[in-house]
Structure 1
Amino acid sequence: MIGSKIGKIKIIKENLFRPRQKMHVVTKVSDDKRTIIEIDNRKAMDVYQEELGYTDATIEEGVFRNPLNLVVGNENYIAAIFSFNKDRSISTFKNIMKNDLICFTDIEEDFKGFIENNIRGATQKETVEGIFSINCILRYLFFDNIKYTSSYSELLHKCANGNHFGIIGDGEQYIEQHINQSMVCAIFTKNR
């Protein structure tokens, strides 16, 4: 629990993925609800590969570029892929239940511009005192792999007027949902 005695706290979540139109129903899961065995009564990996065009040799690329999206009402929550399994199931970092509605995602083509517009849009009309951010480890690893970590950190530092503190987590909580491959941040402002 965080609070502010001098202003407001704005909580935002950000993910770099846009849901695809086609919806799927999870029809079979493991007992621990971390492995999707079937989607639409078919092997989960077969459905994933068919829609996204991956082969067995290229499917690992999907971990960073095409995570699963859990649809809850009008909200979207990313479920990161832990592994693609020999039995053609997909293990995730987030619990997925039988009958959950999911879709696959695509990474924003200009995700760097998307990030900049999102954070600037959330801070531009405010007198920002600081930002506390939590980035998923998979998001950090993706940024690190493409050499974007420093630029991203500089952007948050600038938008926070020099008062940014960020940590890396292995899953974030937003309202009542556990999410992956996302950023959740608290923007502290003087404005009431």
Structure 2
Amino acid sequence: MRQFFGKSRSGNLREAVRGLANPEFIMLMSNNNYFDEHVKELEKLYPGVPSIGCIGMCYDTGVVEEGVGVAAFTDGVRVSADVLEQVSTMPVKYISRLEQSVREVGGTGRDTVCIDFCAGNDACVLTTINTVLRRNEIPLVGGTGDAGRVSVNGKVYEDSVAYAIVRNLKGRVKTYKENIYHQLGDYRFIASGTDRAQYKIGALNGRPAKQVYADILHVTDEQILTQTFQNPFGKINGDDTCIISIKEVDGNSLACFRQVNDSDVLILLELGDYQAITRQTIENICRDFPKRSAVFSVNCLFRYKLFSGNNYMEQYLQDMAALGSHAGLVGYGEHYNDRFVNQSMTCVVFE
């Protein structure tokens, strides 16, 4: 299989798809002002081709902050794309669609992946999707788009998750997750006073969450929002750590980008040598896949801000380009199998 990536910083979809012929699957990454228009136009240009889309920045060797980007797979994939609706209340109501997609594609975890673009309630969505994917050990990579809208096969949906079951007919697939943080000290916190709907942490070890964070790191309320780039929270999940980014200060509480529940055990993280870590990820991929057809990744918005602020984003994308055809989405949350993570990179590699 092969991956195509086209972009237009002015938002001209026809410019973005110039040279794209006979696609077998399309991913649209557009902007809030023209998303609906781009969805309709894409379907007219490539009628009947499975597609998913969302609102967000995208990249190959450079980032498209405004405008539109299109990633497409050709020459050797079998794809079924559909949508689970009502993700804020009852995504399981539509689970038969996903079951049908898996049957249509007919793959296994060795050669098949689920790619999703979500409008919200990510943790619940991933739990729901995984009830089907785990039967065939199919991995998942995806992320959260902006403005609460996604698209599937030429139609825009709100409060939904767009997904595609993608089977590589010419080789293997494998998913990866990159974490550039490690534990800071031996801090351990029991969360309480949480608001699951608003993703708020009220207290840590019985003290106001904001005060605990500020006292340890010696930062003001205003500095907390940028300090999370250096020191997010972490939640241990088996042998893995799920990163939890701070979104805003709300009184004495901390609102996060990921749900925290009462009695969850959290740790404090600190930024590692991210350049060395990204080089190691690239080496791991090259070792696992000496020959690669495509890499599609989702990088967190906070990683994008961190890398850009440290003048590393351009170099990072150049380094990733050494893998071959690499493209991706800047997400508001990243999905890795059944996990909803923050400040991470997830990707799928096609042999």
Q: Output the TM-score relative to the length of structure 2.
A: 0.50
Structure 2 counterpart of 1:113: 276
CA distance, structure 2, for counterparts of residue 118 and residue 60 of structure 1: 28
CA distances 1:18-68 after superposition (whole Å, capped 9, x unpaired): 123322110211251511010111100121123323344643331211111
Structure 2, unpaired ranges of 5+? 1-113, 115-165
Question: Relative contact order (alpha carbons < 8 A, sep ≥ 6): 1 or 2 greater?
Answer: 1
CA distance, structure 1, for counterparts of residue 183 and residue 275 of structure 2: 18
Aligned 1:1-192 pairs, distance under 5 A: 1=114, 2-20=166-184, 21-56=186-221, 58-85=223-250, 87-108=251-272, 110-126=273-289, 127-159=291-323, 161=324, 163-189=325-351
CA distance, structure 1, for counterparts of residue 200 and residue 187 of structure 2: 21
Structure 1, unpaired ranges of 5+? none
Cα RMSD for the two superposed structures: 1.6
CA distance, structure 2, for counterparts of residue 187 and residue 28 of structure 1: 41
Greater Cα shift, 9-18 or 55-64: 55-64
Give the drift of 1:8.
Answer: 1.3
- Are the equivalent residues in 2 in contact too, given 1:133–1:185 (CA < 8 A)? yes
- Are the equivalent residues in 1 in contact too, given 2:196–2:259 (CA < 8 A)? no
Matched letter for residue 331 of structure 2: G
The structure whose Rg is larger is 2
Matched letter for residue 36 of structure 1: I
- Are the equivalent residues in 2 in contact too, given 1:33–1:96 (CA < 8 A)? no
Q: Output the TM-score relative to the length of structure 1.
A: 0.89
CA distances 1:72-116 after superposition (whole Å, capped 9, x unpaired): 22221111110123x2211001111111111110000x2111111
CA distance, structure 2, for counterparts of residue 95 and residue 66 of structure 1: 17
Greater Cα shift, 53-62 or 92-101: 53-62
How high is the sequence identity, in percent, across the aligned residues?
25
